Structure 1
Amino acid sequence: MEKDKEFQERLVRRYINNQATDEELEAYFHLLQQGALDDYLEKYMKEDEDAFLEHHQTHRSPIRRIRIQVAAAVAVLIFLSVGSLLFLLNKRQTEGVVLANDVAPGGNKATLTLADGRMISLIEADNGQLAIQSGAAVMKAANGQLVYVAAENEVAGPTSYNTIVTPRGGQYQIVLPDGSKVWLNAASSLKYPVTFAGLNERRVELTGEGYFEVEKDKNRPFLVESAQQTVEVLGTQFNVNVYPDEPAIKTTLLEGRVRLAARGGTSAVTLSPGDQAIRKGAGFRIVEVDPEQAIAWKNDKFVFDRESLQSILRKVGRWYDVEIEFQDLAAKGILFGGTMSRFDHISKVLNKLEVTGNVQFEMVQETDAAPPKVVVKLKR
């Protein structure tokens, strides 16, 4: 019995360290489906998840192929030596059964709070002018954007703020008074001045996730504040992910240069295009990434590259407004790769993940008032 435990722990360690042979990989997945490795995998998952994924993004290894028997619909799984990463090919049509309590994708949903406290549901409001704020016209455009049109002769005065909030299952695009554009992801918010007239800087406050295309103004830097950091730019394109349920804050630069400073500390870094700053704790780590992956959500896609199922389902949960429950903790660490549309129903997204043959999902609606729940299990 003790020898079995030693073998299982050694097998998990060799698997995670990219040292497992084809025979060991076959044994690993056999034991995984039996649940024999749950305790060992839970031990590894309690370690720094973000550092673990960063290691696999920055230390790529050659592809190694093995064949194993899985569900009848899948003959070959492609494994990388980084672990159980599986490439889900878009060309493959997965026929999976549509889940009970299927959930439609999110869409353009947001609530705007004006400077005087009035709240406007942007999904219910008609297109056209919604309000006048400090001389700026607040417009809902036909394409779903919220647009601020500054007065021709702006006059500096007391600074007024508006706040836009997207729910779980929502997103929205805002054009600020200076022409800068912001895309807000689900469960996010942006607070901003309704005019930048008379201000020495363009400062906004973000929660959740936002993608920014900032108009250049060398006299007025653009600053994005969140709970733990400030991003300072003159004109650039970047993405900021500050969701509180994520293991780290991530700032990804696509174009230009930005400077990040930790709030309440002295730590600061400057990013170049393709850099991602990861903040977990006191300082920043800089890694080189594919920035298009960081803004896939803005382009209506899910894009995963060596990403854990736990991380993937956090994104799915926010976009479809569903709860996630792992009945088998070992499933959290399975790594996936692939591209999916954010406008598919949740059943199609989950069916594509089930192609691996190692996980299965069940949709549960416990009460009419509660959001649907996705229950995650390993296939036995």
Structure 2
Amino acid sequence: MIPEKIEKYIVKYVSKSATSKDLDKLIKWIENPNNKLLFKDYLKDHYAIMFSINDPDAKEVTRKVLDEIRTEKNRMRRNRFVKGFKYAAVAVLFIAVGYFMQLDGDKPQMDTLKPEKKITLQLEDGTVKIIDENQTTEILGANGQVMGLQTGKQLSYDNSVSVDKLVYNTLTVPFGKRFNLVLSDGTNVHLNAGTSLKYPVKFINGLDRKVFINGEAYFDVVKDKKHPFIVNADELDIRVLGTQFNISSYPEDKHINTVLVEGSVSIFDTQENDGNEPQVLKPEQLGSWSKTNKQITVSKTDIEQHVAWREGRLILDEVPFNDILKKLERQYDVTFSNAYTALESREFTARFDIEDIHQVMRSLSEAATFTYTINNKQILINH
């Protein structure tokens, strides 16, 4: 049986939170001949993708994993100035994907999946404009003055425009896409797939800087002590002065999650009238508000698994299968039908970097031993 301390090193490596010292200890433990079999069995039990129907040589897979851990340790030593979640690592699942791609060149026949939905901008008067990510377009106000400029995948608003009342725009990003928004105060907002954000084209002096989100976004808020920045998500308000944080508030999810990267935020339940104090987060903490019991819980978390989506990556740490499907639907703009109900409550740990939906489905099917078919954007999972 693997010691609990060693198991933590393995999990930290997979979730990309291991330090150089952690990797040193993990390598030393694996290199002991008595531990190689334990390590192989652990991989088989927790990362079944490595030992699926093709049954590759366990020694070869173990060697590849060990080589990758050494490579990551050396990379970290060369990049000591890189802090927090910004360093790169290769997860066990990613290695396995590449390994299976080499073992078997045959792929299921699948239609090419291409996102067709467009990013839209709704103006104050209800007019909806299509955002073309390949063009540069001026955003005009009701009186014809230029309020902002859209260049490629970023929309920036001008703080010098003259506005005497709050005028709202709503930016909507469909499944399969991401977009960047710079508000009039300079606050930078990264919008994830399936997200809608309502915001003033210019913040008004003397009023709070308040925006409304449905979906997920990463906020890098410009500090302004006189004008607190407030993000409203359903029945929740997140209040800040200047900080970086991620909020996930999709309608289909059971929780609204706020992860603080740096600075400080306060979380308020907007429906509470009994004098409850707000929850204040510290960096590397997750504030999770339950839509069922209306309670906020705070816990320590690994930042990167919550913000990796900004680079198109998915980091999953013991995530239920149904939740994985939701994330894949958003990221790849597909729809799942799961006929294998026994999978719903099973949890998986995995990492996907640059894989397309074909590679992702191939990996998941080998890990969980299911079959699937893809018809256009519809994916059916069978036993």
Scaled by the length of structure 2, what TM-score is found?
0.71
SS of the residue corresponding to residue 139 of structure 1 reads strand
Per-residue deviation, residues 117-138 of structure 1 (Å, max 9, x unmatched): 2221102783042324686631
Query: 1-side partners of 2:319 and 2:172: how far apart?
Result: 28
Unmatched 5+ stretches in structure 1? 1-56, 79-85, 366-371
Which of the two has greater strand per residue? 1
Query: Aligned runs of 1:1-380 on 2, under 5 Å?
Result: 66=41, 70-76=52-58, 87-90=92-95, 92-93=97-98, 94-95=100-101, 97-104=107-114, 109-123=118-132, 126-132=135-141, 137-142=147-152, 144-151=153-160, 155=162, 157-265=164-272, 266-267=275-276, 268-280=278-290, 281-341=293-353, 344-356=355-367, 358-365=369-376, 372-378=377-383
Give the counterpart letter for 1:145 in structure 2: Q
Give the 3 Å change call, closer, same or farther, for CA 325–249 of structure 1 in structure 2: same
SS of the residue corresponding to residue 249 of structure 1 reads strand
Give the 3 Å change call, closer, same or farther, for CA 125–100 of structure 1 in structure 2: closer
**Cα offset, 1:354, TM superposition:** 2.5
RMSD: 2.8
Give the 3 Å change call, closer, same or farther, for CA 238–274 of structure 1 in structure 2: same
SS of the residue corresponding to residue 264 of structure 1 reads coil
**Cα offset, 1:284, TM superposition:** 0.6
Larger deviation, residues 89-98 vs 294-303: 89-98
Between the two proteins, what is the percent identity of the paired residues?
26
2:82 paired residue number? none
Query: 2-side partners of 1:164 and 1:259: how far apart?
Result: 25
**Does the CA-based 8 Å contact 1:327-1:377 persist in structure 2?**
yes
Equivalent pairs, count: 300
**Cα offset, 1:200, TM superposition:** 2.1
Where relative contact order (Cα < 8 A, 6+ residues apart) is larger, the structure is 1
Unmatched 5+ stretches in structure 2? 1-14, 16-25, 27-37, 46-50, 63-90
SS of the residue corresponding to residue 178 of structure 2 reads strand
Per-residue deviation, residues 27-66 of structure 1 (Å, max 9, x unmatched): xxxxxxxxxxxxxxxxxxxxxxxxxxxxxx9xxxx98752
**Does the CA-based 8 Å contact 1:74-1:355 persist in structure 2?**
no
**Cα offset, 1:377, TM superposition:** 2.8
Scaled by the length of structure 1, what TM-score is found?
0.72
**Cα offset, 1:282, TM superposition:** 1.5
Query: 2-side partners of 1:353 and 1:240: how far apart?
Result: 27
Per-residue deviation, residues 334-378 of structure 1 (Å, max 9, x unmatched): 32223213x54311111122232523322135xxxxxx2222233
**Does the CA-based 8 Å contact 1:331-1:377 persist in structure 2?**
no
Query: 1-side partners of 2:343 and 2:92: how far apart?
Result: 17
